Structure 1
C-alpha cells in the first residue's frame, strides 16, 4: 500500500489516446465532460526520466472537467521509451495515471516512493511535478503536483469554464 494515498482525493484521471480530437469528442458526447483546453507542447525544466536527464516524451494534451474530477487526455507523438508509452503503447488507448494535488509535495513524494519508483520528475511552470511508477502496485502511474499559484489559476479557469457549460466550443486553448 502507498501511505500517501490514504484518505487522499484524486483530482485528476489521465488517459493516453491515439487522437486528441477523437478522445475529446468521445468524452463530450458520452460523459458530458468539458470543455477541453489543448496544450500543443508540454515541457518540463530540470527533468529526469528514470534517473537520466531528459524532457518529457513529446505529446499533445488536453484537460477538461467532469464535475469535480479533472480529465486529462494525452496523445504521445513518439514511440518509447517514455513516460506515456511506458504504460500505453504508441497508437494505443488506456488509463495512464491519477493526479494528486499536494500541499506537502516532498512528504507525499517520499510516501509514494514507498510503493513505487520514480519514473519522471521535473518543473512544470516552476512547480515540482512527478510521476511515480505504481503500475505493479496499483495498475497505473501516480502523478504528484505541487500546489502553486499558477496551477491554481489554470485549474481554476478550466473548472470555471465547465460550470454551466452548454456543450459549445468543446476544444479551446488557454489565453
Structure 2
C-alpha cells in the first residue's frame, strides 16, 4: 500500500489543492449546479483565483483556528479539507466549527482519504475546544450526504438558497464532536 496520511497544507500545495477542487467540482457538481455557474467556478481563470485564495489561506489564515489540511499518497496531494470557527449567526463560534470543504481528487476516490481528512479535522477541532461541527451541502449531493451521514452527521433543519443564476438549495449538516469517554 502507498504511504498515505494527512498533514497541514504548505504553500507549495496550493496549486494541487486548486486543481483537485476544479476536478472534483466538475465531476461531482455537474448535475447539481447550473452549467454556466459550474463553468464560471471551474474555468482556468477560476482555478488561478482558487490557487491564490488557497495560498492566502495557508500563509495567512483568518485565525489560528482556521486550517487547511491535505491528504497525501506517496507525497502526492490527493485531497484537502478546510475548517474554521462557524460563521452562521445562529451558532456560537466559540464552540461550533464549520467544515468549509472536504474534497478528494476523483482519480484517488474511495481510498480512505476523505475519512482520514475528516478524522484529522475532528481531532484538531476537539483540541481547539469545539463541540459541534457543521457543514453546508447541496441538497442533491447524495455522495457527500451519505459520506457524512455514515460518520454520524445529520441535517439540522437549516437551509439556504445560493444564487447561481438560479436558486441552488443547500442544507446544513451537523455532528457532535465532543470527546466521548
Higher RCO (CA-CA < 8 Å; seq separation 6+): 1
Sort the TM-score into its range (normalised by shorter chain).
under 0.3
Pick the structure with more helix per residue. 2
TM-score normalized with structure 2 length: 0.27
Pick the structure with more strand per residue. 1
